[in-house]
Chains A and B, each alone.
Chain A
């Protein structure tokens, strides 16, 4: 199993450009998440999808959109990138059993907006 995969690993955008970050998991998990990580800020939730067909806003959704394409894939789109969106983006997935809410993380996408 590859676990959680993310593409691309690195990206540089100019202000105003758009792009989509891709995430896929092969663990048959129900829930998927997008986080951003900034120095000293920990992980902040952007959007999540508790199950296929649903998406919900997290703590910092402004400037982003998501699509849960199917059970495996959850993409994050920046329609008009801004320098404030320079960050490391992590996708995660979870089985969401009542006994455990463990999330499995991908390797991250390092995005710079100039």
Chain B
């Protein structure tokens, strides 16, 4: 798991800051999107999802924004905590298919 972070874009923030992680997706026909969090040595964990008929969805301390015009997805984390340090992946589902296509990930480092 620790080797996952090699060569990834990295976002470094201070504890308490808001974080924004961006993702460009590839297929304009994708209609469902997910954000996953992967801590070192563990499997990815679901954070939040959004369908293409929405442009914003909020969870606990997280918000996902979807801009279909430019095929862009973002994950906003409010009041970032050291426990949020992880690699974050976006994934897209193409309508009619049962698979997800994952982005390469962004490493978030939160310092106290």
**A and B: partners?**
yes
Residue count of chain A within 8 Å CB distance of chain B: 29
Instruction: Please judge, given known A-B contacts A58-B99, A101-B98, A101-B100, whether A42 and B6 are in contact too, CB under 8 Å.
Output: no
Stretch of B14-22, B37-45, B58-66, B68-76 that contacts chain A: B37-45
In whole Å, how far is B7's beta carbon from the nearest beta carbon of chain A?
3
Instruction: Please judge, given known A-B contacts A106-B43, A108-B1, whether A94 and B98 are in contact too, CB under 8 Å.
Output: yes
- Find out whether the CB atom of B104 lies under 8 angstroms from the CB atom of A40: yes
- Find out whether the CB atom of A43 lies under 8 angstroms from the CB atom of B42: no
Q: How far is the CA of A105 from the CA of B42 in the complex (A)?
A: 9
Instruction: Please judge, given known A-B contacts A88-B1, A100-B49, whether A42 and B104 are in contact too, CB under 8 Å.
Output: yes
Q: Which residues of A contact B101 (CB under 8 A)?
A: 45
> Is A53 on the interface with B (CB-CB < 8 A)?
no
- Find out whether the CB atom of A43 lies under 8 angstroms from the CB atom of B6: no
Which of A31, A41, A45, A101 has the most CB atoms of chain B within a 10 A radius of its CB? Answer: A101
Smallest Cβ-Cβ distance to B94: which chain A residue: A101
A-B contact count (CB 8 A): 64
- Find out whether the CB atom of B34 lies under 8 angstroms from the CB atom of A101: yes
Query: Which residues of A, 8-58, contact B by the 8 Å Cβ criterion?
Result: 31, 33, 37, 39-45, 48, 50, 58
The number of chain B residues touching the other chain, given as a range, is: 20 to 34
Query: Which residues of A, 36-87, contact B by the 8 Å Cβ criterion?
Result: 37, 39-45, 48, 50, 58
Q: How far is the CA of A44 from the CA of B103 in the complex (A)?
A: 9
> Is A7 on the interface with B (CB-CB < 8 A)?
no
Beyond known contacts A100-B49, A108-B43: 13 more, CB 8 A cutoff = A37-B4, A39-B3, A39-B4, A39-B6, A40-B8, A42-B105, A50-B98, A88-B3, A88-B4, A101-B32, A102-B46, A107-B42, A107-B43
30 contacts between A and B (CB under 8 A): A4-B43, A37-B4, A39-B3, A39-B4, A39-B7, A40-B6, A40-B8, A42-B89, A42-B105, A43-B89, A43-B102, A45-B99, A45-B100, A88-B3, A90-B43, A90-B44, A92-B43, A94-B98, A96-B98, A100-B49, A101-B34, A102-B34, A103-B34, A103-B46, A105-B43, A105-B45, A106-B43, A107-B42, A108-B1, A108-B41
